């Protein structure tokens, strides 16, 4: 596998024409100028409310612990990025699709994440409209063009250098593409390792595009253990009380490859820092030792219908479990706010096994 990655990495470098060179990073009193978020429903703050999509969470009980107000977040409360923003001391950025997201509101960053979105264009298409990874990059470019008109050239360059970009992609390319053979042909066309390599090559292109726009600090989250989410446990393919190991195993190539890609980008991108978030390891720790984290329910959702409450997500006005802090999963696909809080803290403060090669706190101080 090592040789495969060396060859793949070289292809990325040659195609993208990345300038070779190492950056000298010095810890300083850096300040985060903005937070830009690209991703899927794990970090969507309401973009899909404005799209012709059936992947929406703009109804109760979503948001029951977010001032008792559904916003479009696929959670009982705050998302991973909301909580990461709290740790960084910046406001969670508004949804790009919200018509009120304009003018000075975009100075602190914008959230482009879209439920059902994937790295591949076709991923999640059965849900209707969504912003794919490439579309989100284009949307971000639109925002930067607006900001360029609001700031002087020197201030704009400094602004971009101090901004942090968070990307959360890949889950839908599996659960709403590769693992749906009745709707998508990808599992017939690609072996699991070949599919992971396809995703990584497409991802690499967009990461390089973001860097070429002047963005210098990018945190890229890996995929969590999808074989353990209620949706996959409810499929009937998992042994009783167990995760679906075959699904978890196929994610290895992607996550290991993403970490390897981060190394290559850091070696070849002058003046930038890329970091890999080990979501799989962090969620795995929780599932392997739930009581240590205060959880008592790991195999079914707090809100949903069917086996493991995982066959259908929260229904409108459905009353969820009352002891939400004890549940790992909020609905068929998404973690509770309590889990998001753990993931945010590990990304922000964690050692290289959590966030590699630097954590988000360290990234915010680099200049």
| Pairwise CA distance, residues 323 & 91, whole Å | 28
Side-chain half-sphere of 337: how many Cα atoms within 13 Å? Answer: 16
| Residue with the two structure tokens 């990234």 | 363
| Pairwise CA distance, residues 327 & 43, whole Å | 19
State both tokens at 303: 């809100």
Compute the CA torsion angle 253, 256, 260, 261 (nearest 10 deg).
60
For residues 336 and 302, the answer to whether their CB atoms sit within 8 Å is yes
Q: How many CB atoms lie within 10 A of CB 182?
A: 5
| Pairwise CA distance, residues 132 & 110, whole Å | 16
Pick the catalytic residue from 44, 331, 355, 364.
331
Q: Look at residues 178, 59, 38, 210 and name the one whose alpha carbon lies nearest to residue 114.
A: 38
Q: Write the DSSP string, 294-335.
A: T-SEEEEESS-BSGGG-SB-PPTT----S-GGGEEESSSS-B
Pick the catalytic residue from 334, 341, 354, 364.
334
Task: Clarify whether 341 is annotated catalytic.
Answer: no
Pick the catalytic residue from 33, 41, 53, 171.
41
For residues 51 and 129, the answer to whether their CB atoms sit within 8 Å is yes
| Pairwise CA distance, residues 167 & 186, whole Å | 23
- Which residues share a beta bridge with 301? 329
Task: Clarify whether 126 is annotated catalytic.
Answer: no
| Pairwise CA distance, residues 159 & 147, whole Å | 10
H/E segment holding residue 155: helix 153-162
Q: Write the DSSP string, 237-259.
A: -SPTTS--HHHHHHTHHHHHHHH
- Report the catalytic residues: 41, 331, 334
């Amino acid at each position: 596998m090592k040789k495969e990655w060396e060859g793949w990495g070289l292809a990325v470098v040659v195609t993208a024409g990345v300038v070779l060179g190492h950056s000298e990073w010095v810890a300083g009193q850096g300040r985060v100028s903005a937070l830009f978020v690209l991703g899927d429903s794990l970090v969507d703050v309401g973009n899909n409310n404005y799209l012709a999509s059936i992947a929406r969470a703009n109804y109760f009980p979503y948001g029951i612990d977010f001032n008792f107000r559904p916003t479009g977040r696929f959670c009982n409360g705050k998302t991973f990025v909301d909580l990461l923003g709290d740790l960084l001391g910046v406001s969670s950025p508004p949804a790009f699709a919200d018509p009120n997201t304009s003018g000075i509101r975009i100075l602190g960053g914008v959230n482009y994440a879209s439920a059902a979105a994937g790295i591949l264009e076709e991923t999640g298409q059965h849900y209707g409209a969504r912003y794919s990874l490439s579309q989100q990059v284009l949307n971000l470019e639109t925002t930067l063009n607006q900001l360029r008109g609001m700031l002087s050239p020197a201030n704009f360059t400094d602004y971009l250098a101090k901004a942090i970009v968070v990307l959360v992609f890949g889950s839908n390319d599996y659960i709403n593409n590769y693992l749906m053979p009745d709707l998508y042909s990808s599992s017939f066309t690609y072996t699991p390792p070949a599919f992971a390599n396809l995703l990584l090559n497409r991802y690499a292109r967009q990461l390089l595009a973001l860097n070429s726009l002047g963005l210098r600090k990018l945190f890229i989250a890996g995929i969590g253990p999808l074989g353990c989410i209620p949706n996959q446990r409810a499929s009937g393919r998992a042994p009783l009380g167990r995760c679906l190991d075959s699904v978890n195993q196929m994610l290895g190539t992607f996550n290991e490859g993403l970490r390897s890609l981060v190394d290559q980008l850091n070696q070849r991108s002058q003046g930038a820092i890329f970091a890999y978030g080990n979501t799989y390891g962090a969620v795995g720790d929780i599932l392997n030792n739930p009581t240590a984290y205060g959880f008592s329910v790991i195999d079914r959702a707090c809100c949903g219908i069917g086996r493991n409450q995982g066959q259908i997500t929260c229904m409108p006005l459905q009353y969820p479990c009352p002891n939400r802090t004890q549940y790992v999963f909020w609905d068929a696909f998404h973690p509770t706010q309590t889990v998001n809080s753990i993931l945010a803290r590990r990304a922000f403060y964690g050692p290289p096994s959590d966030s590699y090669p630097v954590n988000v706190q360290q990234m915010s101080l680099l200049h």
